[in-house]
Structure formats: C-alpha cells, structure tokens
Amino acid sequence: MTIIVKNKQTLLYKDFVFKCCIGKNGFTKNKIEGDGKTPSGLFKIENLYFREDRLKKPKTKIKCIRIKRSMGWCNDIKKEKIYNKLITRRKNVRNEKLFRKDYKYNLLLPIKYNWHNPKVPKGSAIFIHITKNYKPTAGCIGLSYKDLLILIRLINRKTKIKIL
C-alpha cells in the first residue's frame, strides 16, 4: 500500500484520512536545499527513529532506531560525500540535529527522497515528523503524535509514499 499526501493538509492511507502539514512553500518537483518546499513524487520510507527517553518503543513493523544525542542528518551542501545521510554530529558540518529540545523528532520517519547517490543541493532531511499546530514545515510532512502512532502501526517496510 501507498501513503498519499493528497494536498497541503491531507494525508491518506487505506481508509484513514489524517490532517497534515507540508513545506511552507508548497510542493515541487525541483527541490533545492532550503527552499521550504516538499518534494513531490513516489518514494520509499526508511527506518523509524524515536526518542527512548521520552516514549517507549512504538508498535510497528518497521525497524526502530533509538535517537542518540550525537545523531544528525547532513544538510551541508559543501559536504557532498555525506549530504542527506545520517551522521554523527560535528562542528564543521551543517546538519539537522535529531536529538532536539522540542517534541518534533520524538518520532521520525525519513522519506527516501534524493537518497541513493544524493545530489547536492537537491534537498535533504525530508521526514514525516510530529506537529502540534500544523504550521508549515521547512519541507517535511507533519502529523499529530496520535496520527503518526496510528500510521506507523499500519505500514511496513515495503510501504511507499506518494507526494502529489
């Protein structure tokens, strides 16, 4: 089955309709790092990352990885070899910090956009993550905690996401 992001506020999976939010500048087929847009297309999903210090391991068929303080996701356009990859954070590399003070990455599902042989600056760190207020994101897809818990129970490692 496929997750479908139908528009800027609706995500569908089977018979479920979820409220969501997307990038502040809408959808695009030509994503560029920092443009505030959510890439459109059909993509696979990655493992589920979670904050063990804040919640117990979720019930899902997807492999779960504990988020550690040292984890980051490289969004540094000057670092071509590690661009759009999970990294151990270091000062000389721009990255999205996964162990955040806020709640957004307590559950995190990377979308395999610009994944194999990633091209700089075509965009990085595109995730499905938690939102409380449905304010537009920097390019990710936001779902409420409750809805994200439901979604990850329903999907498996073969599930894809179609962003219109």
Domain ranges of the chain: 2-163
pLDDT for 156 equals 97
pLDDT for 60 equals 98
Q: For tokens 């129970």, name the residue.
A: 153
Q: How confident is the model at residue 98 (pLDDT cuts 50, 70, 90)?
A: very high
Q: How confident is the model at residue 116 (pLDDT cuts 50, 70, 90)?
A: very high
pLDDT for 102 equals 98
Mean pLDDT of 79-105: 97
Q: Is the dihedral of CA 149, 104, 27, 95 positive or negative?
A: negative
Contact 160, 42 (CB under 8 A): yes
Q: Provide the 10 A C-beta neighbour count for residue 78.
A: 10
Percent over 70 (pLDDT), the chain: 100
Percent over 90 (pLDDT), the chain: 100
pLDDT for 14 equals 96
pLDDT for 59 equals 96
CATH superfamily, domain 2-163, is: L,D-transpeptidase catalytic domain-like (2.40.440.10)
pLDDT for 91 equals 92
Q: What is the chain's mean pLDDT, rounded? A: 97
Distance from C-alpha of 112 to C-alpha of 121, rounded to nearest angstrom: 15
